[in-house]
Amino acid sequence: MIMKNVFDALKERGFVANCTHEDELRKALEKPVTFYLGIDPTADNLHIGHWFGLRIFKIFQDFGHNGIILIGNATATVGDPSFKNDMRKMLSSTETNHNAKGIAETLARFIDLKKTKIVYNADWLGKGVALVDFMQNIGAHFNISEMLAHECYKNRLGNGLTFLELGYMLMQAYDFVHLNESMGCILQIGGSDQWANILAGVELGRKIAFVNDKPRGAMFALCYPLLTNSDGQKMGKTEKGALWLDAKKTSAYDFFQYFINVDDKDVEKLLTFFTDISREEIHKMCKGDIIAAKRFMATNITEQIHGKFELETPSVTIKSSPLLVDILVASNLAQSKREARELIQNGAIILDDEKITDINFTTVTKDFTIKKGKKTFLKICVKS
């Protein structure tokens, strides 16, 4: 079914976690609107969570809506305290401006920059803003009790939530009002962990309009779900840190390995979130052959980020040996023949795509790939 309204398309894929005024928003989206997505430059590159947001941003663009990317080089100097146990590291304007440049260069890979306006909130929240004026015009509209009632701040209350961090919500809320007044932006999108901050922008716009005795202009909030696994844990964290989109930070091989090793229960969600395949076809794929579906998912997602790629599997060259047990020891996949036999008997060894359970299995004299457990891959180059 071809959908004419982006809201229906997003909801059908499970991309709408929260929104304000659903009926009014859907009605507004029947025609092109201006919307924005904010990204704080706390690092010089983007991770998988950012890509999820940019994918939804691109869907809005594909439906003819006008997108703004707001790079928060001012808000990043404060740091969003939402759902954090400790205060974020404070960044200087020099650091955030450096990071902002790296992010701006990355965006072209994922969205249509010809249809996108990129703005920086330091342009209106920078040194030219008078503190007293900001507190009178913006701070007066925020009730501290209401702010602290939001779930996003509860973890910080016992650990010393600072006035600086409370100011983050005011700054982000004002970003929305500023873009609404200067560029006609009526919708902010973001992850569900940003719900309180985005909602604050909608409310600030309403309160300012009331104080100034002006008709209330349309302002909406839409949050997509966080990228979490079946256990509710945030996805994208590896032993080496975040799952970055830059191959210099996370190689194509490591990127692929992350997704090929996710729980089977997460495959259907990931295919729904990161491909355009119909939900019916995805369900059929996962129900039929979950291993094949997972490999397709991991390959597809990796290629969207890195293009066609070689898996760059680590390799080792060994002298020809027919016994798999000997090969496992020679390649350091097992520390002894006893451990090698136990790995084989426990079904932990896969040679190419075949699980080996025979401890007397003999290999052919050609190169092949061994998988030990879920995460260890090694290409064996046989030297005769």
The answer to whether residues 230 and 263 touch, using CB atoms and an 8 Å cutoff, is: yes
Asked if 335 is an active-site residue, the reply is: no
141 has catalytic annotation: no
Which residue among 172, 188, 257, 272 is the active-site one?
Answer: 172
Catalytic residue from among 11, 237, 341, 372 = 237
Q: Which residue in the list 27, 115, 154, 234 is annotated as catalytic?
A: 234
From 13, 20, 42, 65, active-site residue: 42
Cβ atoms of 217 and 186 within 8 Å: the answer is yes
As a whole number of Å, the CA-based R_g of the chain is: 25
Told to judge if 374 belongs to the known catalytic residues of this protein, a careful annotator would answer no
Task: Based on the residue annotation, tell me whether 299 is a catalytic residue of this protein.
Answer: no
Alpha helices in the chain (DSSP H): 6-12, 22-28, 48-62, 93-107, 122-125, 131-137, 144-148, 151-157, 163-183, 195-211, 252-260, 267-274, 279-288, 290-306, 324-330, 337-345
Contact (CB, 8 A) for 377 and 254:
no
Q: Check if the beta carbon of residue 11 is closer than 8 Å to that of residue 22.
A: no
Cα dihedral sign for 270, 271, 274, 280? negative
Q: Quick check: helix, strand or coil at residue 325?
A: helix
Q: Which of the residues 58, 88, 207, 341 is marked catalytic?
A: 88
Q: Dihedral, CA atoms, 184, 221, 95, 150, nearest 10 degrees? A: 140
Quick check: 83 and 29 in contact, CB under 8 A? no
65 catalytically annotated: no
47 is catalytic: yes
> β-strands 220-224, 185-191: how paired?
parallel
Q: Which one is catalytic: 13, 20, 40, 50?
A: 50
- Give catalytic status of residue 237 as yes or no: yes
Catalytic option among 47, 55, 269, 294:
47
Q: Is 234 a catalytic residue?
A: yes
Q: Is there a catalytic annotation at residue 172?
A: yes
Whether 88 sits among the annotated catalytic residues: the reply is: yes
CB 26 within 8 A of CB 5: yes
**Nearest-angstrom CA–CA distance, 292 and 268:** 12
Active site residues: 42, 47, 50, 84, 88, 172, 193, 234, 237-238
